[in-house]
Each structure stands twice: as structure tokens, then as C-alpha cells.
Amino acid sequence: MFVSYSRGMTTREIQAYLEDIYGVEVSPSLISEVTNAVIEEVRAWQTRPLDTVYPIVYLDAIQVKVRSEGKVINKAIYLAIGVNLQGYKEVLGMWASENEGARFWLSVITELKNPGVKDILLACIDGLKGFPEAIEDVFPKTQIQFCVIHVIRNSLAYVSYKGLKAIVADMKLIYQAVTETDAEIALELFADKWQSRYPMAVQVWKSNWKHIRTFFAFPLDTRKAIYTTNAIKSLNFSLRKVSKNRALFPNDDAVFKLFYLAIKNISKKWTMPIQNWKDTINQFSIYFEDRVPLPV
């Protein structure tokens, strides 16, 4: 039953399935009672001890509709994926709040610190206003990397369809540059070429450059693990798939039950370190020096 639930089947679909396949009549309320047992497991998972150091943490949120006090509201489910010192991914936790905002992210980051996380080397995030400051308030040494895909998408929001192909080609020259110096030259050329026509698109890059350029400190192979939030976007995509049959959740616990069970299924596939991890952790040990613990 848990497997079916974690893969997105509603309680009524599970009821129909059991009756059709096994000839067993089970009420939706009984199925809900059985799956409610998961909530205690979720709470234990949320408060479990975490590692002291995570070289990379990806942070993002997914939107769902939840009934609250007789109204249907949008809720942001905040998610954090950590890459541990061995290069393996794990979901560190999930939290719920109305809308995504830097203030709530601050409480999320604080909760990550409470179970024992002492340091995060790199945090990969989108460009939400105030997000970097929220992280730096709790982990002042953490390097912030804005997801380049988000930057491109935000920039293209100000570009007409006619100009898309040309401007995307020029953006590639920035983030695919070999060195930071080359990237800064490409950025200036990009600004000179497009400033008069698409000033807001240029501003997205220039105003966020401090947190875009972080990945240039590392070799080309290492950058692939850093400059996008694809790891957590992939998780979000999977969670959307399992929740697509639910236009509305009755409460936050219903979201947590489904997503927790889905995360357990998804993480079974995370059996290998992320690509080029040995090279990456070696580069981190040079760049971050004594912040990377020596192997025991």
C-alpha cells in the first residue's frame, strides 16, 4: 500500500486497485489511517542528526495547493539536498510555508544547523532576493552559487521572441568561458551589444554577477556539479509526477506523507557519487583549505 501511495495513487485509487486485483474491500478512511502512521516516521527523519560538513547543498522549493482554514492556498514546500564528503546525495529535510521567501529560508537554514551541520562549503540556489543573505547569516563562510539556468531564464523574460536565439548564443559565451577573466570580457561585450535594446536582460547578469561567477574558481569538470540546481530540479520533477493526481492536499501532513515516501523511493537510485566527485573534493580541499575534513 505504501508503495502505491508513494508513487502518486490517491486513497480512492488504491481502494479500487485492491478491490479489482484482490477482491478486497478497504475504505478510503482505513487507507488514510494506515498511511498516517508515516507521519511519525517523517518527524523522526526531520530531526535526525546530519553530517557536520556538506561540500554542496542545493536549495529550492516546490508549490502545492493545500486546504487551510476552509480556503485553498498555495504552499511552498522547501527542500534541501546535501552532497556529503563521499559525494553521495541525500535529502536533508523539507518544510512548508505560504509562498517562497528569504525570511522562511533563514529558518530552514537555521534548522539545518541545529541537527549538527557546522559548515556548508557551497550553496546552489536560485536568484530569490535576500536568499544569499539568509544563508550567510547562519553560515557566513558559505560560497553562494546562483543557478545559471535560473539566471538565463530570468534574463530571457525581458527578451522578445525575435531576439532569443542571438542573445542566448551570447549568454553561452559568458558561462561557458574557460576563465573568469574571459567570462567578464564576454559579459562586457554582451552588455555593450544588448544594453540599448534589452537593458533589463543585461541587468540580470550584471547585478547578480557576484554570485554567478563563483564556479569559475574551479576546473571545468568540477563546474558541472556547481553551476546549476539540476540535482534538486530533478527531485522536484519527480515529486510533481507523484502529486499530479492530487489537485489539492487536505493539510500539510498529507503533503509530507506523500513526499517523504516518494523521496525514499527516489533516493534508492542515488547509489553512486556525483560525477567527477574525486576530482571535485580534491579541488575543494585546495580552495577551502582546512574546512574540508581529512579522511579518517
Q: Kindly report each contact of residues 105-112 with a partner whose C-beta sits within 8 Å and lies 24 or more positions away, as own/partner.
A: 105/59, 105/78, 105/130, 105/131, 105/134, 105/135, 106/134, 106/137, 106/138, 108/59, 108/78, 108/80, 109/134, 109/135, 109/137, 109/138, 109/139, 110/138, 112/50, 112/57, 112/80, 112/138
Specify whether domain 50-144+245-290 bears CATH 3.30.230. no
Mean pLDDT over 280-286 rounds to: 93
pLDDT of 232 > 90? The answer is no
Mean pLDDT for the chain? 86
| CA 180 – CA 177 distance, rounded (Å) | 7
Domains of the chain, by residue range, sit at 1-36, 50-144+245-290, 148-227
- In the chain, the largest separation of any two C-alpha atoms, in whole Å, equals 71
Least confident of 79-83, 182-186, 220-224, 280-284: 220-224
Chain segment 233-260, per-residue pLDDT in tens: 889 888 988 887 777 888 888 888 888 8
Q: What integer pLDDT is reported at residue 142 of this predicted model?
A: 97
Q: Which pLDDT band holds residue 35 (cuts at 50, 70, 90)?
A: low
pLDDT of 264 > 90? The answer is no
Chain segment 162-208, per-residue pLDDT in tens: 989 999 999 999 999 999 999 999 999 999 999 999 999 999 999 99
Q: How much of the chain, in percent, has pLDDT values that exceed 70?
A: 87
Which strands sit side by side in the sheet containing 119-125, from one edge to the other?
89-98, 71-83, 53-68, 119-125, 143-146
